[in-house]
Structure 1
Amino acid sequence: MTVPLSILDLSPISEGSDAASALRNTVDLARHAEGWGFQRYWVAEHHFVAVASSSPAVLIGQIAAATERIHVGAAAVQLGHTTAVAAVESFGTLDAFFPGRIDLGVGRSGQRRREALAAPPPKAPAAPAQWRDVDGVVVPAPFDVSAQFRNPTLVARMGALQQPRAESPDFATQVDDILAMLDGGFAANGIESHVVPGERAPLRPWVFGSSKGQSAEVAGSRGLPFVASYHITPATALDAVDAYRNAFRPSQALPEPYVVVSADVVVADDHDTAVHLASSYGRWVHSIRAGNGAVPYPSPDRCEPLTPEQVEVVKDRTATQFVGDPDEVAHRLEALQRVTAADELVVTSVTHRHADRLRSHELLAKRWGLH
């Protein structure tokens, strides 16, 4: 049985375009995605870079208003940069307008970055890990992000996302607070407190994670669905899924584990066209890993090739991007689903031209058998 397929969108800003166009393109893609039969439409949260998905709740409202049935949500609200109360109130508001269609995705990426900054630099480089092929799924060696996290530009931007001297609670505490607020059992410093709107809303947190660390453990131990980011951290996503399943305890909302795995895809009518459309992806990923954040998505017609040194920086991501005609990409997605036993897959697809991105999703939906 084919598992459901969903979409993760960053509202990417293409070279020569602007944020307003990117946001309009997101709403347009969402409308098409609903017609093509995708299960969910999730938007990411990013700041100070050339993607327009910086305010998920606002964007979700626009997408939900422009569609009728598709589930719309965040992938994910960065709890390191906000409060549990703000998340529940904003998504409770969305649920009041669009009952039963809103997904509250949460992640700890902001906390993870601050932990990396506080940690001492490694004394010696670790032994290089080996690339593996797991039944058709490429598992590359991990990419070392420690230098990226110490980039002064990134540090300054992270500081701007926090109130002065603010300290975020532990991620597990925030998730527990969200669950208590939704259930009506929240107390602020021992004082019974009710979140309006939000309390008793039919919202369930979706926990996003990249490794076998805290996110996977929190999702499993609280009986929540888990989303593993193979498209960002292909080296550790399979370990994250295993850790989640090992930690899982049934909850009232979820009697069994529910796993979603992400993949980065570019689909075209033929292999060569897809390869051409994806040829600027490495340049875009390199801009992120250079520490200054994603640049406007380059045109494949004018993009300079990467140097050998730059290729090494991004090869884990380029090797794990699913590029090709519908059959090629579907076969790789089927392998990813088989290896992870995912209950659902979520795809993200970035191309320079909006028409090519629409076509990528349309072809995949038809090949996957969506209705």
Structure 2
Amino acid sequence: MPMSVLDLAMINEGSHAGESFKNSVDLAQHVEEWGFNRYWLAEHHNMPGIASSATSVIMGHIAGETKEMRIGSGGIMLPNHAPLVIAEQFGTLDALYPGRIDLGLGRAPGSDQATAYALRRSLNSGGEQFPEQLAELRAYFEDDPTMRVRAVPGGGADVSVWLLGSSDFSARLSAELGLPFSFASHFAPQFAMQALQIYHQNFKPSKVLKEPYVMMGISLITADTDEEALYLATSTQQMFLNLRKGTPTRFSPPIEDQKATWSAFEQAAVEQMLNSPSTIIGSPETAKKKLEAFQQATKADEFIVSTGTFSHEARLRSYELLGEMMD
């Protein structure tokens, strides 16, 4: 089963974006050697701990430092952009790295309302216009000389378009259009089975895809022992709690005594996250059992794995152990 990487280019406390990008390149080069299928970066804005806001720029940097692995967006939030600009950006990436570029598209802002306005200069473009924006974008990738406005480069580009979602909206749309679908089960596990059912039941073959193809997002940290993995995971849990409180920060070091730091409400929120089948934390033996159970439940064709650890070495080790599981 193919495994891929979702990288948020996390910025640690006491560090900076440049260091995050160096770590991303190092991780991408290692996971390519370990047999991972693709490497995606996510668009987020106005978040002190995430450096991948200029997604297509960092994609080009990662693609230039790797050899064959597919590089993509997980995703580009299309309402934030003019479709022509995205067609030109990804047409350029395809021209530079032919046959290696994935364009994962979402309809959420990837930010708060004030930041969305700063990006768009208007809030008239939103998720409800996503199907029309998608149709416009895909038209630019067609090599049609009769179009008055053409994407150069972009027309005729070999870019693989995916729809991303955390609800049933993109599941229905990707099924209708015959596109591959990636579900963000790592932060919306409660909607996963419904979205998958809708996608499979409504899928229509297209010139892009003859049969449905689903990639499921999971949050995974594995280490040599369960105890070490749970300790490392407290960094991601702190980020999760800060986002829920509306106070995003840079990525924090792990903590030894959670109960001394978190309130009962925060502890309950973390426990709920830990109990999700798409959150996998533990030794290789523990992780393998949970991965197999999740694959059997979802019938996913591929997993895309997000691993958040404060230590770059620990993140490398987690993906190395996952690569050994694939072998």
- 2:179 is matched with 224
- The equivalent of 1:300 in structure 2 is 254
Contact kept, 8 Å, 2:216 with 2:304, in 1: the verdict is yes
**Shift in Å, 1:174:** 1.4
Rounded to whole Å, the distance in 2 between the matches of 1:89 and 1:303 is 49
Counterpart AA for 2:25? V
Q: Does the CA contact (< 8 Å) of 1:223 and 1:257 recur in 2?
A: yes
Give the equivalent residue in structure 2 for 1:180: 139
CA drift of 1:193 comes to 2.6
Other structure's SS at 1:110 match? coil
Shift of 1:303: 7.4
Farther off after superposition, 164-173 or 13-22: 164-173
Counterpart residue number, 1:196: 152
Q: Output the CA distance in 2 between the equivalents of 1:173 and 1:303.
A: 50
The share of aligned pairs that are identical, in percent, is: 36
For 1:77, the equivalent position in structure 2 comes to 76
Counterpart in 1 of 2:166? 210
Equivalent residue of 2:189, what SS? Answer: coil
The code of the aligned residue for 2:2 comes to P
Distance in 1 of aligned mates of 2:28 and 2:285: 23
* SS of the residue 1:200 aligns to: coil
**Residues 98-122 of structure 1: CA deviation (Å, up to 9, x unaligned):** 00000011000129x8xxxxxxxxx
2:273 matched residue in structure 1: 317
1:283 to 226, 235, 238: 238
Matched, 1:171 2:130: yes
Matched residues in 2 for 1:328 and 1:171: separation?
40
Aligned equivalent of 1:128 = none
**Equivalent residue, structure 2, for 1:68:** 67
Q: How many residues align?
A: 321
State the AA in 2 paired with 1:307: S
> What's the C-alpha RMSD, in Å, of the aligned pairs?
1.9
Deviation sequence 1:204-239 (CA, Å, 0-9, x none): 211000111x21111110000000111111111221
Q: Distance in 2 between matches of 1:303 and 1:353?
A: 18
Classify the secondary structure of the residue corresponding to 1:76.
strand
The worse-fitting range, judged by mean Cα deviation, of 303-312 and 88-97 is 303-312
| Residue of 198, 207, 212 corresponding to 1:243 | 198
What are the superposed Cα offsets for residues 151-202 of structure 1, whole Å, 9 maximum, x if unpaired?
A: xxx3322322222465357111111112221123498xxx633211111111
Match of 2:303 in 1: 345
| CA 1:14–1:250: 2 relative to 1, 3 Å | same
Report the Cα distance in structure 2 between the residues aligned to 1:40 and 1:358, rounded to whole angstroms: 16
| Contact 2:235–2:308 under 8 Å retained in 1 | no
Looking at structure 1, the residues matched to 270 and 145 of structure 2 have their Cα atoms a distance apart, in angstroms, of 44
Greater mean deviation of Cα atoms: 353-362 or 159-168: 159-168
- 1:235-263 deviation digits (Å, cap 9, x = unpaired): 11221111111221100110100100010
Identify the residue that residue 10 of structure 2 maps to in structure 1: 12
Which residue, 253, 260, 269 being the options, matches 2:215? Answer: 260
- Unpaired segments ≥5 residues, structure 2: none
Q: Is this contact kept in 2: 1:88–1:182, CA < 8 A?
A: yes
Residues 71-121 of structure 1: CA deviation (Å, up to 9, x unaligned): 00000000111121111110110000000000011000129x8xxxxxxxx
Q: Do the aligned residues in 2 keep the contact of 1:74 with 1:103 (CA within 8 Å)?
A: yes
> What CA distance in whole angstroms lies between the structure 2 residues aligned with 1:106 and 1:350?
22
- Residues in 2 aligned to 1:255 and 1:155: alpha-carbon distance in whole angstroms: 38
TM-score by length of 1: 0.82
Deviation at 1:313, TM superposition (A): 3.6
Whole-angstrom CA distance in 2 between matches of 1:317 and 1:89: 39
Q: Residue 43 of structure 1: CA displacement? A: 0.4
- Name the counterpart of 1:22: 20
State how 1:101-116 maps to structure 2 within 5 Å.
101-110=100-109
The question of whether the paired residues in 2 share the 8 Å contact of 1:282 and 1:311 is answered with no
Q: Secondary structure at the match of 2:252?
A: coil
CA distance in 1, matches of 2:159, 2:234: 39
C-alpha distance in 1 between matches for 2:118 and 2:208: 36
Say if 1:268 and 1:39 are closer, same or farther in 2 by CA, change over 3 A.
same
Aligned mates of 1:291, 1:16 — CA distance in 2: 21
What corresponds to 1:354 in structure 2? 312
**Which letter maps to 2:53?**
S
Trace 1:33-48 onto structure 2 (pairs within 5 A).
33-48=31-46
Consecutive unaligned residues of structure 1, counting only runs of 5 or more, are: 114-153
The equivalent of 2:86 in structure 1 is 87
